[in-house]
Structure 1
């Protein structure tokens, strides 16, 4: 089983689609149960063409990770999430969680995501 403290910190993932657009996610997961996910879409020249930020709550029970979206910022505009909308609730099965990699699978869609831990301080000796 996994411990929730393993998720606390900053994570990222990057993927490229068939059209050449690059998609990047930055995730900040805090000890108090909040998260902030920033999603960026880049064109072939690495210019950001779309940005959105999702804010909400998260949890981890055993090998189940879950999120509840409460708010979203798209292109600078704020949108409060409809908490009655089931699309704002997600559950995932944790496949791997260690100090460097967080791999999880959506319970309904079976889509797999792989995040890598962001290292804030790199010390050179």
Structure 2
């Protein structure tokens, strides 16, 4: 009965979230005009322009953002990213296989914006026992994305190495993914550096 209820709720969530669409083109998050290679002139205060562009994008990215996609095997992958003003992030993943079984995973790290580049530095996993640190020497723990569009409701970005495109929707601060763990539904974030 519990599994049927979970499956029903997940199905309703998937149907509801599959209905969100970006109805207007997303505005460019890079607010400054790039200089041409042959243009030797510079604005008087180019650093202020870039700081304002990054600052505006950064402020828009604060809070919770939800994404969902169908995997190659037919299952679903959902993720909920919460970015904090202190430069840390937490992303909760929920993977649902075609047979209805689900698993969850949570990761933490640092994030930022520079011009039209969004980046993440993965630092570890959140587990029931606390944080399990990631190896900082692994190159795949550092990701950079080109911001394709960003507004108050949607964020579209593309991974610079894998060329994979993501589109996520802004959600309320009380929005949560169902978490699949055997002991507790939520765990404290034990993340500090």
Q: TM-score of the superposition, structure 1-length normalised? A: 0.86
Report whether the alignment pairs 1:63 with 2:116.
yes
CA–CA separation in structure 1 for the residues paired with 2:142 and 2:119: 7
Q: Give the aligned length.
A: 119
Specify the SS of the correspondent of 1:20: coil
2:125 aligns to what? Answer: 72
Structure 2 unmatched runs, 5+: 1-29, 31-52, 175-193
* Greater helix proportion: 2
Report whether the alignment pairs 1:54 with 2:132.
no
Larger gyration radius, structure 1 or structure 2: 2
* Greater strand proportion: 1
Change in CA separation of 1:85 and 1:17 when aligned onto 2, cut-off 3 Å: closer
Specify the SS of the correspondent of 1:5: helix
Summarize the alignment of residues 67-106 of structure 1 with structure 2, pairs less than 5 Å apart: 67-73=120-126, 76=128, 78-106=131-159
Q: TM-score of the superposition, structure 2-length normalised? A: 0.57
Runs of 4+ off more than 2 Å: 17-20, 43-47, 76-79
Please give the root-mean-square deviation of Cα atoms over the aligned residues, in Å: 1.8
